[in-house]
Amino acid sequence: MDIELISPSEWVKQQVKSVQDYTLIASRSIANLFTGPRYLADTTQQADLIGWGSLPIIVLTGFFTGAALAQNSGSTLQRFGSVTLIGQLVSLGMVRELGPVITGLMVAGRNASGMASELGSMVVTEQIDAMRALGTDPMRKLVTPRVLSTVTMLFFLTIISDFLGLAGGGVASSLFFGVDSHQYWSTAWQILVFQDVFMGLAKPVLFGFIIATVGCYYGISARGGTQGVGRATTQAVVASSILIITVDFFVTRLSMTLFGQ
């Protein structure tokens, strides 16, 4: 396989163009929400694929992440005779950080790749060109429904993941450390304040937008036949995962700055 070498200046130009193209796709996907036509059937179909299709993996990862968190924190707290604090640690850890991030990464691995491969296949088979020839806006038909459905479904999937993480933590703390179930849920609920819940529910909105727009961008930008589609699929998962972790850091820092904790 031939490797094409480009100059550093040309590489920088390509990266700048990529950022510009992504920004255009992301901004148009939002602008299309305020004008017609709206493809509600496509949005509903994507919501079903993303939400219901991702539910099993979210249930499993959420439950066992909470159980692992309780098990690890409980072994440490047991040394200080403070196992009753397991509920607080699991609650804060799941709601503020692990719930949104784990859910975002799972959905990114499953759906960002799916969007990139689906749209990439449409590009290389010239279906998108045919759509434009028929007077249909591919951005409005293909991208906006995926963005809207991903943001909506990831919000609810994160709530499910948080709850199951707390449930997994409750099971682990009860089995391994003998923590009373009622005490666990009372402390887990009481420790949460507005800023914890706000931060935990604001993140999936941003993560969903990242997943959908990155997946659609790499799909629409796919070139080079089936090999290009495979490359776009990999790039979509990698880029969306990195952006999720990066955005999580800055949102957490911003929230701590605004709310003082």
Nearest to 166 by CA among 91, 98, 101, 72: 91
How many Å apart are CA 190 and CA 4, to the nearest integer?
59
Tell me the helix, strand and coil percentages in the chain, rounded to 5: 90, 0, 10
Is the confidence at residue 227, as pLDDT, over 60?
Answer: yes
How many Å apart are CA 239 and CA 252, to the nearest integer?
20
Is the confidence at residue 107, as pLDDT, over 80?
Answer: yes
Is the confidence at residue 2, as pLDDT, over 70?
Answer: no
* Contact in structure between 104 and 98 (CB atoms under 8 Å): no
Q: What is the pLDDT of residue 260?
A: 66
Asked if residue 37 has a cis previous peptide bond (ω within 30° of 0), the answer is yes
CA–CA–CA angle 254, 258, 261 (5° rounding): 90
Dihedral (C-alpha) 225, 231, 233, 236: value to the nearest 10 degrees? -130
pLDDT band at 105 (very low <50, low <70, confident <90, very high): very high
Determine the distance from the C-alpha atom of residue 177 to the mean position of all C-alpha atoms in its chain, rounded to a whole number. Answer: 33
131-168 pLDDT per residue, tens: 888 888 888 888 899 999 999 999 999 999 999 999 99
174-225 pLDDT per residue, tens: 888 888 888 889 888 888 888 888 889 999 999 999 999 999 999 888 887 7
Percent of the chain with pLDDT over 90: 36
pLDDT band at 33 (very low <50, low <70, confident <90, very high): confident
